[in-house]
Amino acid sequence: MSNLYDLKNKKILITGANGQLGKALAVALLKNGATVIATDLQAESETTHPQMTYFQMDITSKQSIEAAAKKIGEVDVLINNAGIGIFTPFEQRTEPEIDQAMDVNLKGTILCTKIFSQKMLEREKGKIINIGSIYGVVAADKKIYGDSGRNSSEIYGATKAGVIHLTKYFAAYLGEYNIQVNAVSPGGIFNEQKPEFVDNYIRKTPLGRMAETSDVSGVICFLASDDAGYITGQNITVDGGFNLNQ
């Protein structure tokens, strides 16, 4: 990713900052000059940098978010990145899996938006970027997973479709306060998946490869920058065209 966007003087909070995308995103935002507030469940950060501070924060708990928010103070940009996938087949779905996906992907996004938008409302300025998924846009094709016993689940897709809807809802609701809310929906990010899976996946992808974290983080840096000041309520799919062949 090139160092294109001026994020100096922007305090940007990332949830799920210890994950694959969160870590790459923190590095990309730092490279563009941002002050990064990294948050996740673990006690410590997996990325360190003088411009970055880490706070433990469980997004499924109002109490945990409020306690962190008290220490963090106001932020210019909130990135609702923490999310969980459920990969057991539908026939084996359990109630805890449904609850967990709903709690992290939907409830967590709503609570963080509510709590971190309060200061944005007062200042009449702010940006919220939600991480959806291509599986919130199109149904997962179980053939990609072959006989692995895994499949991207209905509850993951439904919660990510919900995240895309929340993006539109909050963009409309918070627009009068000069708060822009957008979503970025990545296709599958390469993470040493089995070759059979990768082959099946890229066969359906016009650009012929899985996503790299840098494909996604560049778009997020753009949305966090002032250049994106008149874009709101949009879902940008970053999927190499995967959705075109569904």
Cβ atoms of 99 and 148 closer than 8 Å: no
- Which of these ranges, 3-11, 18-26, 120-128, 147-155, lies near ligand NAD under the rule CB under 6 A? 18-26
- Which of these ranges, 17-25, 68-76, 196-204, 217-225, lies near ligand NAD under the rule CB under 6 A? 17-25
Tokens of 127: 């940006």
Question: Interface with ligand NAD includes 21 (CB under 6 A)?
Answer: yes
Catalytic residue among 5, 54, 145, 156: 156
Alpha-carbon separation of residue 172 from 18, 180, 218, 228 (angstroms): 31, 9, 25, 16
- Give the position of tokens 């995240």: 163
Contact pattern from residue 100 through residue 139 relative to ligand NAD, giving x for each residue in contact according to CB under 6 A and a dash for the rest? ----x---x----------------------x-x------
User: Which of 6, 53, 60, 87 contacts ligand NAD by CB under 6 A?
Assistant: 60
Mark 65-100 as b/e (b = at least 16 C-beta within 10 Å): beebbeebeebbbbbbbbbbbbeeeeeeeeeebbeb
Instruction: Give CA–CA dist 49/36, Å, rounded.
Output: 9
Is 156 in the active site?
Answer: yes
Residues lying near ligand NAD in the complex (CB under 6 A) are found at: 15-16, 18-22, 40-41, 58-60, 81-85, 104, 108, 131, 133, 186, 188-189
Catalytic residues, by residue number, are 156
